[in-house]
Amino acid sequence: MDLHKNRLSQIFTPDYIAEFMVKNIKQHYFSSRNGSTIDKIKVLEPSAGKGIFLKYLLSEGFTNITAYELDQNLKIPLLKSYPDIEFKFENFLGSDVNEKFDIIIGNPPYLGQNYNAQIFQELVKNYSICKKYFVGNMDLFYFFIHLGIDKLKPGGLLSFITTNYWLTKSKKTGIKFLKPHITNDCFMIHYIDLSKIKVFKDAKGQHNCIFVLQKKYANEKHKKIDKIIDVIQLKQRTNHFNEKSNGKLFTDILNNQNSPYLLNYTSAMTNKDLSKKNSWILKYPLDVKNVVEQIEKHCRFNGSTSHLTDFFVIRNGLILIKDEIFILKENESLKIVDTDMFIKIDKTFVKLSDEEKQKLKKIFKSKVIRPFSYDKSDFSGYLIYFDKNEFKNQNLTIRNELIKEKYPNLTTYLNQYKGDLENILRNAKENIKDIYFPRRGSLITQYDIEDRRKLVNLEPYYDKEPKIFFSYISNSNSFGYTKDSYYATSDTYFLWGREGKNDIDYLFLLAYLNSKIMKFLFLAKNIMIKRSKTKLEEEIPIPNTSLFNSKYQLELIDLIRYFTSNVTQNIVSIDETILYKLREISPNTFSQIRNEKYPRRIIDILLFKLFGLAEEDIDLLIEKYY
């Protein structure tokens, strides 16, 4: 349960969830403790709410129960309903860490730090556990896990229901301390994925999970003992809250009944595989892992698997001071007549010189991105783009004067909004004189082989170099590409080649990134494109084409490049002389491709052949698990 309604919003646990969690943790506890008696087991519920967990703890025979609840409005009904339970109507986060328990169970409060900074500041000020483990971009329930671990006896169990986002977050977020704390002191022994069902009737977001942690004994730490992780996936897809049908699913789990909506398996990831700083892929069946490894064996450079981050720096597109000022809309702030352009200054349209016209770039938002390409007609307007490097040897004051002298109409237009632009820069604690340039995205930091830092001007790349780009929020592997001019706003990510990586095979890589193989990897590795790009950088393996060295494989790669080039140019016709080269090497592959009409489909078939994968096997795995 969450804390006070106006501050932390209360979401109460459904009966069937509480009943399942109590019975599940009881099974786990007694499965490893012969001769234990239930009356000796000390149980803690750190956020009692209306007492639903207490109800089922008592019904299962637990008697030594302590419960915390902060909401004073619930004090009288709780005391009346559960007179034999020791209640503490105070914040659990202030409890004595030296008081230990065998079992800790509950639904801790959910509250994101990003939009509740003041509440978190108060918690850090008032409670040592919060001060110790606070980082930005975290959730309140992280503190409950931290303190729960500290209050467990060795061998004790903790079971919470929470959102599942923390599992996939990296060290750059609030799990900076959480994952090391768990991996150092506990085993993850049970994980139940609830993301396919709606658990809480009125709550926003239903990406929930139940997990069970077991506190390590000292010798288990010393000997670095490993343990398996049991996983249950609920496959029922519904956005509707139905306590009766959901309750039956959980009854099936407890009774080990076969159900078309359940998958029960041991994760291919064990506790020793759990990273202290990166994503945990717990939903990782062995048959999925085998296919991933089949792909990754073709992605090895110098003996280890290489990933996207080894070849590319991923950065946003252009971040402007204010989009509405720097992006000119045709027939609003800009008029185009034949080859002439006119900009609006003091309600009058003034003609731009040829030099000024060169500083206007068509700019795109991520909505235009398509696999292999983008919608060229759907640009957002014309960006005023001044390159800092044009006058790079001058100080800012002189540079501004030179820009005004060379581009008088564009700078006069911008100076109409000087006060607004300066205020934005001032509030961002940036130089208020820097009003003519993009705030971010015109330069990128690179390091040479001797680890020396240098700034690289991106204008030539935006203008003409091969570019792979993608939306910064997406659940699919949709990677665009062009060698033409392409400027984009900050909702787009670009793959900029790292220093010294000048031999990137863009066409082959583009085919791979947009392929069905990559779709499978996105699912298997739980890769989602979000503002945080860590999973993309560190989870996408990149093929080493030099490992494909047979005549047949080299022919496949050439064909993949050929058809990828066609797709990027929207060419749907197929040059059959290209295909006949393949017939001599593999009549079966030739026959399969010969009957296909769409180049994108042909690319997928060729990639499956190249990696030695059966598409039917991939389809079955996707259907079964995802």
pLDDT by residue (tens digit) across 149-161?
A: 999 999 999 999 9
- 30-81 confidence digits (pLDDT tens): 987 777 789 899 999 999 999 999 999 999 999 999 999 999 999 999 999 9
Mean pLDDT confidence for 573-602: 79
Q: Percentage of residues in the chain with pLDDT exceeding 70?
A: 95
CA–chain centroid gap for 443, Å, is 25
Burial 127-165, CB ≥16 within 10 A → b, else e: bebbeebbeeebbbbbbbbbbbbbbbeeebbbbbbbbbe
Res. 561: pLDDT tops 50:
yes
Query: Hunting for tokens 């494989």 — which residue is that?
Result: 553
pLDDT per residue as tens digits for the range 279-320? 899 999 999 999 999 999 999 999 999 999 999 999 999 999
The pLDDT value given to residue 340: 96
pLDDT band at 14 (very low <50, low <70, confident <90, very high): confident
pLDDT at 7 over 70: no
List pLDDT tens digits, range 400-458.
999 999 999 999 999 999 999 999 999 999 999 999 999 999 988 877 666 778 888 89
In CATH terms, 5-284 corresponds, of 3.40.50.150, 3.40.630.30, 1.10.10.1590, 3.40.50.300, to 3.40.50.150
Provide mean pLDDT across the span 198-207: 71
**What pLDDT shows up at residue 1?**
37
pLDDT in tens, 468-526: 999 999 888 999 999 999 999 999 999 999 887 778 999 999 999 999 999 999 999 98
If 0-12 CB within 10 Å is exposed, 13-18 middle and 19+ buried, where does residue 427 land? exposed
pLDDT band at 255 (very low <50, low <70, confident <90, very high): confident
173 has pLDDT over 80: no
Given pLDDT bands bounded at 50, 70 and 90, which one contains residue 236? low
At residue 205, the pLDDT reads 59
* Mean pLDDT across the chain: 90
Band of residue 206 on the pLDDT scale cut at 50, 70, 90: low
Helix (H, G, I), strand (E, B) or coil at 29: helix
Phi/psi at 316 (5° precision): -65, 165
Report CA-CA distances (Å) from 557 to 92, 517, 604, 606, 618: 60, 15, 12, 8, 21
**pLDDT value of position 202:** 66
Q: What is the pLDDT of residue 466?
A: 94
Q: Burial letters for 476-486: b for 16+ Cβ neighbours within 10 Å, e otherwise? A: ebbbbbbeeeb
Question: Residue 6 — very low, low, confident or very high, per pLDDT cuts 50/70/90?
Answer: very low
Please give the average per-residue pLDDT across 166-176, as a whole number: 81
Specify the higher pLDDT residue, 422 or 171. Answer: 422
Residue ranges with strand state E in 538-615: none
pLDDT of residue 188: 98
How confident is the model at residue 449, as a pLDDT?
Answer: 64
pLDDT for 217? 96
Report the SS3 class of residue 47.
coil
Which residues of the chain form CATH 3.40.50.150?
5-284
User: CA-CA distance, 285 to 21, in Å (whole number)?
Assistant: 23
- What's the pLDDT at 8? 46
pLDDT of residue 5: 43
Of the candidates 137, 145, 182, the one whose C-alpha atom is nearest the C-alpha of residue 161 is: 145
Across the range 8-15, mean pLDDT stands at 71
Instruction: State residue 2's pLDDT score.
Output: 39
What pLDDT score does 239 carry?
57
